[in-house]
Amino acid sequence: MNFRPTILAFPFLLVACASGDSYSPLDNYSEVRATTILDAPSVTGVAPENQAAVNRGEYLVELLGCGVCHTDGALIGEPDMRRALAGSSIGVAYTSPFENKNPGIVFATNLTPDRDTGIGRWTDDEIKDAIRAGLGRHGPNRILVMPWQAYARISDDDAWAIVAYLRSLEPVENTVPVNVPVGRKTDATYVHFGVYRSKGLPGF
């Protein structure tokens, strides 16, 4: 049987701007150890009739790893729990380093109910749609790098439990950087992650 290797896996990579005329996708990259397990912040003062849903939502947010992207520093293994789930100043590149010297970068949003920098002005349906369909609040485009495909079949009860939990968090005022379009230079710190398909190797 012929076997053709097709997947090249990339760990999280911390990126600085490459310099010079020649470009290698591995210039100025260093491997980092991202936080893979992060406690979801506990909440207090929940009305008794909502406690079961909030507890379920806390469990799901922790299980689904929401804090890894949405907590500042977690993407490089240095989570700032004072800003748990309040968005990240470290971005995630969503284009291949083999094709784009200056990649597109997305910064995970503030999930706390702060009205100005978080989800405080979002409706419950908008939060649910972001979780299960990757839909942002402003327009039909999917949220880049949000793993909504993995959450698309979350039940209504579980989706509402996550909403109830996020609504119960203490609001944290934290504005994340503006997303960077493909091709634009930036001084932002960001990581690459994901898998890229190779074109195969001769003889395999």
Interval 162-197: pLDDT, tens: 999 999 999 999 999 999 999 999 998 998 876 555
Instruction: Please identify every stretch of the chain with a pLDDT value under 70, giving residue numbers as ranges.
Output: 1-29, 138-139, 194-204
| Residue with token string 């909403």 | 163
Q: Where are the domains of the chain?
A: 7-196
Count of other CB atoms within 10 angstroms of residue 151: 19
HSE of 80 in the Cβ direction (CA atoms, 13 Å)?
A: 12
pTM here?
A: 0.81
